[in-house]
Copies of this chain bind each other. A is one copy, B any other.
Amino acid sequence: MKKSESSEDYMKSILILHKRNGVARSAEVAMEMGVSRPSVCNAMKKLRKENMIYFGENDHIYFTDAGKKLAEKIYSKHSLISKFLKGIGVSKDRADEEACVIEHAISDETYECLDKFYKAHMV
């Protein structure tokens, strides 16, 4: 089940909102990502069809098990990459910004390699 970059971004945003506020709704996702509400609406429709999320009471967005797993993975990739980039001297803002793109490009294999490398040489 190949997911687009943009879908992955929405998943990550929802997870961030869950961590920050406990809940996530479309309008908050729109704010968080800086996109319009209709864009979020479309993206959510797609993610729902792909069984990544579902809507509960009050339009709250929840992850399915598969969705949760995917979102956590993307988040981990983001964190690791950002940490690594800061570790080699990239400024915090830029590290974060570039991690947002790179996180979609690296496979699980690469994630594991970078994680091992980071722990072995950069802690």
Chain A contact residues, CB within 8 Å of chain B? 85, 88-91, 94-95, 98, 101-102, 104-107, 109-110, 113-114, 116-117, 121
Identical chains in the assembly: 2
Contacts of A116 in B (CB 8 A): 88-89
Contacts of A106 in B (CB 8 A): 98, 102
Contacts of A94 in B (CB 8 A): 107, 109-110
Contacts of A90 in B (CB 8 A): 109-110, 113
- Whether the Cβ atoms of B105 and A85 lie closer than 8 Å is no
28 A-B contacts (beta carbon < 8 Å): A85-B110, A85-B113, A88-B113, A88-B114, A88-B117, A89-B113, A89-B116, A89-B117, A90-B109, A90-B110, A90-B113, A91-B109, A94-B107, A94-B109, A94-B110, A95-B110, A98-B105, A98-B106, A98-B107, A98-B110, A101-B102, A101-B104, A101-B105, A102-B102, A102-B105, A102-B106, A105-B105, A121-B121
Contacts of A113 in B (CB 8 A): 85, 88-90
The 6 A-B pairs of least Cβ separation, nearest first, read A101-B105, A88-B117, A89-B113, A88-B113, A90-B110, A102-B105
